[in-house]
Structure 1
């Protein structure tokens, strides 16, 4: 009985459950009429009876996704529709069929889920935030709008990160969403922000650290250029070389290399010879030994047919353009004037207010415009804007805070003038550690001068400072006067004189009142007397002379009480007797102009005509009554006494020569000697005598060997013993080589072998000696034309040309020749190398030839 009751109860419960389940679906009609209260009441009753009732949960999903709620309850709708989706597959088939008949099946569940999904996406769109879209993407199942939501989420997140403008926000974005289309843009923005932050102070260290840390980024190249810009201020060759080595993977290193190439650009440009043919100017490159590939209709040669400047000017339809020597146009403007400044830069006036600065490489980072430019050294420029000058590097990097009135450089020192005052600086003073680190100058000085080209003395009213060649302070600014004499400094301050050595140490303890200095000899004075240091500055000063006069390095005059002295460098002291006078002897022969200081003789004489001759060591080498003394060489003196002429050396030893009538002036190692109306000569080097045998002064033909003599007004060649080598048959003789002479005989010029007595060439009209290094050539004209002979007497260029000249270019010798064919109005031009090899020849009509011919 009990089992029966239990069975009947179970049947009742099942029947009731499904009855309620089916009834709850009727709440749909209330939803259709928007009777939300009735619908909720029926749904709640079903839920109360069975919270897991799939029909009730389905209706709750429909209830919360009803349009009356918009999408405010979409999360609840999603909760219930997911529950239905999870429960429905677990129902028995019989139950599923019954629910299906009432309109609840898997399709209805899916359809409702899609409605919920749509509402969820609409809610995310309405909020339009990263979190809202992520809520949709991470919570909902069907994601009908996944693509749209993802795209919107990425854009919103990207915009937010960009708006924050921090590296953290941007890096968070591309790390969270690496596949977003904006990810690469975000990485770019990140690099921009990171670069800006890393280099915000624009210091050299910041740029260097950035390149070291992130060498592969796009900003590493920019940072490398900034490094180059900063180091270009105060840069020298070594700075650019180091940069190239350290940053060779960057384009900036190529620019640095270009700058270095510009320094030697002018020396590397080839010289061109130009000629006109067929209405066009052609160019022959001497270095490359060939015609260039370009031509111009009209050009302006530097001189005649040469293009020596590092550019070519060409005129086209009344417009002038400038070209590099490879034919590349320098700047596409009408040129009024062009000037090569140096370091690869051209200054171009194109009729505008400002001039163009253009580099031979035409790199845009090396181009500028200003009123005027000046090259100061290999790596620095002065740029004029309005009426002021600015110091800049070749890359345009500013160096000074304020403009100046003028800038120039002498040696290693830069000078800046502003108003009436000056400042100076060295290249090291221009070094920068940041882009905005501009230098200030102190305009302390009003004048300057170089001391022995080693030191710079700067004046500031009655103050002075001394700088060395590198513009480093040697003596600081003080109210004193400085002088420099052969490694000795003299400092005058407050009426006192100090003598200092090269290390600025005082040579003497005493304060001095005055000084004299000449050629290494120093005279110093205390309050009353002078002391003289003739051979160095060691020891203590001996103040003994009332007055002194320093003539040179070997002779000083001194007076002590009533006595007068000549003080010699050797330490010898010669007393001047009463009424004696002295005279330093000189030689005015131009042959000794470079060694005049080696002629050291002084003559002392009295009123009675008694003479004494001293050499530079203070040794008396000759004395006597009525001496006429003439200095011939630093070692030889002619003495004339009582109609007797005598030759002595600097020690007083006589060089005995019989029957001397006169001595001539030294020339080519010889002193002419007239004996019995014939000329011989003294060979100064070894003091050997060439016997007299010439009608006129003997001339040198070959050093220490052969000489030209005259007999019966004709010239011949003899040796040092006066033995005849070539008879005197010629009106003129010139040295050609050791065995050959250029001679003129009976009005005819020829090249004559002095040993075989045969002519190598005859009937020469003119000749010109061409010296090239240790080689000698001769341009010779014969009746047929000009040609060239080398020093061996060999024909280098045949004698067929109307014009022939030598031309030296880059340590090479060329021959430029022209041959006129007047009968056909035609000219052949030819270029030869030093040895006569034909490099180029071309035939021109006479009118074309005149376009580049010299007057």
Structure 2
């Protein structure tokens, strides 16, 4: 057909502008259905006149009907040419054409027939190529928009069949105006994101975000980066994320977490924190509200909360509150309001966080486990849910992680809910620098640093397993497998390989006892490392080593030069070691002093038998049958003499025995108490003396001595001494003079000038000059202490009051009951008076100074809704 068109064009150009056949004849012949004759006339007409609307119009028609149907493309060419010629001919020709029924409308109708047929053919083929061909060669067709839609749809189906980001990218580049552009772009963005991060490594997510900063998956990627770079739950890690992604969708969540980290640490970075947020006023308000101790009040059937100063924090607006709040002293950040399934959680500012809950458990470190009845969910105190999983239990581990329990197994989460260990372990615990995991009776070890690094690529690995363990000094892990032991440092680097040996530590050194002897690790001396010794003894001051030919003594602090060539060594304590070489016996001190020991001398340590303080004084005594010599820890001679016995008494005092009697001597050898007592003992900083069955005392602070004259133990009481005589208490002074007569059943210290005494069931407040201040009290009960100030609840008759050792009687005993609804260190008093005649309970709240904060009258049924039954 294309050859025919070319031939026609050639003939047209050659013939010129002749117009031989009239339109009417052509139309009549065509209307008779003589298509062969029509074609002959058309060809002749075109040969004579190239500008020939009628001939070209009819030729277009012939190409669309049988039996001359040749090609729709040819029909398109001729109708377009006919329309062009129609525009080119003069008025006379147009008039003849109109007479023959050839008008602009008939030409356009034919064109529509042609394009409709072409579109139908392309649509029937249902290929992108067919539709592209139609659009290329029929650009003016009214079906163009529909053809484009079908073409784009077919191309989109092809891209979906391939379903790679490359196929969608090609589609987007080829069809930028497609109806399916958004869907294709959505698939492209998702698939290229998945492909580029297929390895699930943190570096891949970071790299992808740099390459595609406008990705619709930015929030998802930022979340991965955030949760994997902040597993260590450090302020600096969250700050680094904000600096790298300042416009992040999670900025508020991150700053909320940072606020709680700073809060737990005492707000050391609060000013810096305020520079990270745009809500300084509201955060300051929250911070201020946290300092308030909340106390409930009940007015007009509604609960509210006030501070310990009486300031209203939350107006009375709540129908019910947790009954545990009735006793006040509320320091919690979240408040449980309502009851049953209607319970809800609000903040101290009154903002509702959660509703339809049954309760919550504060886990500490800013985390809470909330019970919704159907299950428990983890929440951060700022209000966001950590994840969407239900747990039976949860605990904070190491201040960084949350261990969670499902059924009987434990798993581990980061603070932002990033799963670290799945729920399949019998136990997970944090000890020192280590996190120990028990799986089927075998332990694995990891640490915060290791987990934070491995979670970046979700590649948590345990390097070893063991049956049992011991954490030494927070930074060393000693593992046990049967009879085998190994030692790891805080980075879980192997220090001592696993073997059948015993490992023990002192200071910065580790020691191993194996079948062939002892070895030392982490010493600076090459002489010791990688050697095996027959015997070894060690403490914080010394190492004694049995070598093949001799003994070696080494000072741990290198304060004295090593001593070698010795016959034997015995470590006395951290300060001194006994050494023997031939007939020479010596005490070697870490101070460098040396004390020579005679063959008949024996050695014992003098120290407190009760104290467990590692820094407690220790003295060495050398003695024989004739004398005793006491040395300090530096090796200095403190005193010596022909004592029968010397024993440790206090840090600076010793008892000595001479001629069967005991006395006291100080560290300078000066006699403090002569030797005339049957026994001497120290109790509560007072030294008790026994002589002829009577008890006396010596005060080492004042030097006061009370001669033995009493049957019971003497105790210090302010600047005096409490004595029991004939079953009654009294006070004496350091001169053994009676200050308070022996008439009372009990004493209670109160302040510098007064004290409480009990006579039978009645208590009296009196001065040390035996003057009565108040009397008639019963059942004094300590209910608060603020620094040095004490508050006791006292009863007089059937009424209660409050007595302070600083202020005196701050609440007169006129109340039916008094309860501390503050806290023990910051009291607020709930005082109730029952007006029986009016059937009212009048409740007044008082601060620690006795100032009234709030007063309210209640009917009995109302009073039960606010009364604290402690």
TM-score per shorter chain, which class? 0.7 to 0.9
1:597 corresponds to 2:622: no
Compute the displacement of 1:410 (Å): 1.4
Matched residues in 2 for 1:649 and 1:487: separation?
37
Q: Which residue of 2 aligns with 1:207?
A: 205
Look up the match of 2:53. 54
CA distance 1:465–1:247, shift in 2 (3 Å): same
Q: Per-residue deviation at 1:780? A: 5.0
**What is the alpha-carbon distance in structure 2 between the residues aligned to residue 534 and residue 113 of structure 1?**
112
- Counterpart residue number, 1:9: none
CA distance in 2, matches of 1:621, 1:141: 121
- Work out the CA distance in 1 between the residues paired with 2:386 and 2:557: 57
What is the Cα deviation at residue 456 of structure 1?
1.6
Task: State the secondary structure of the residue aligned to 2:39.
Answer: helix
Q: How far apart, in 2, do the equivalents of 1:474 and 1:835 lie?
A: 61
TM-score, normalised relative to structure 2: 0.77
Is 1:83–2:81 an aligned residue pair?
Answer: yes
- CA change 1:586–1:266 in 2 (3 A) is closer
Partner residue of 2:649? 632
SS of structure 2 residue aligned to 1:243: helix
Question: 2:283 corresponds to which residue?
Answer: none
CA shift, 1:368, in A, is: 1.1
Matches within 5 A, 1:94-113: 94-113=92-111
SS in 2 for 1:600: strand
Q: 1:323 to 1:577 in 2, by over 3 A?
A: same
Give 2:39's aligned residue.
40
CA offsets per residue over residues 36-87 of structure 1, 9 Å max, x none?
32221221122233333333222212222347667x6232222222223222
Cα pair distance change 1:820/1:471, threshold 3 Å: farther
- The change in CA–CA distance for 1:441 and 1:735 in structure 2 (over 3 A counts) is closer
**Contact persistence 2:551–2:567 (CA under 8 A):** yes
Distance 1:29 1:373, change over 3 A: farther
Answer with 1 or 2: which has the greater Rg.
1
Aligned equivalents of 2:620 and 2:815: distance in 1?
57
Which residue is equivalent to 2:564? 542
2: CA distance, partners of 1:823 / 1:545: 96
CA contact 1:234–1:429 (8 Å) conserved in 2: no
Which deviates more from structure 2 when the two are superposed, residues 764-773 or residues 117-126?
764-773
1:432/1:782 CA distance change after superposition, 3 Å:
closer
Contact 1:760-1:793 within 8 A present in 2 as well:
no
Residues of 1 paired with 2:720 and 2:68: CA distance?
Answer: 132
CA change 1:550–1:249 in 2 (3 A) is: same
> What is the CA-CA distance between 1:614 and the residue it aligns to?
1.6
Q: Which residue of 2 aligns with 1:775?
A: 788
* Structure 1 match to 2:671: 654
Q: Is the 8 A contact 1:315 1:321 kept in 2?
A: yes
Instruction: Give 1:741's aligned residue.
Output: 754
Distance in 2 of aligned mates of 1:572 and 1:341: 58
Matched, 1:407 2:454: no
Secondary structure of 2:597's aligned partner: strand
Query: Using a 3 Å threshold, how does the CA distance of structure 1 residues 343 and 79 change in structure 2: closer, same or farther?
Result: same
Q: Deviations over 1:627-649 (max 9, x none)?
A: 35454322223434347765422
What is residue 476 of structure 2 aligned with on the other side?
455
In structure 2, distance between residues paired with 1:455 and 1:632: 38
Equivalent-residue separation in structure 1 for 2:34 and 2:450 (angstroms):
91
1:485 is matched with 506
How far, CA to CA, are the matches of 1:475 and 1:658 in structure 2?
58
Moved more, 183-192 or 815-824: 815-824
CA distance in 2, matches of 1:746, 1:384: 57
Kept in 2, the 8 Å contact 1:694–1:709? The answer is no
What's the RMSD between the two structures over aligned residues? 5.1
Aligned ranges 1:423-434 → 2 under 5 Å: 423-431=444-452
- Residue of structure 1 equivalent to 2:63: 64
| Superposed displacement of residue 221, structure 1 | 0.8
Secondary structure at the aligned position of 1:301 is classed as: helix
8 A Cα contact 1:767 1:778, kept in partner: no
Partner of 2:324: 301
Q: Which runs of 5+ in 1 are unaligned?
A: 1-13
Map of 1:218 onto structure 2: 216
Match of 1:614 in 2: 630
Aligned to 2:389: 368
Partner of 2:597: 575
Task: Report what 1:8 is aligned to.
Answer: none
- Give the SS at the match of 1:218: coil
> Given the superposition, is the C-alpha separation of residues 367 and 346 from structure 1 closer, same or farther in structure 2, using an over 3 Å criterion?
farther
Number of residue pairs aligned between Structure 1 and Structure 2 = 817
Distance in 2 between residues matched to 1:83 and 1:728, nearest whole Å: 139
Alpha carbons 1:407, 1:414 under 8 Å: kept = yes
Distance 1:315 1:118, change over 3 A: closer
**Are positions 1:814 and 2:843 aligned together?**
no
CA drift of 1:513 comes to: 0.9
For 1:253-272, what aligned pairs fall within 5 Å after superposition? Answer: 253-257=251-255
Shift of 1:343: 4.8
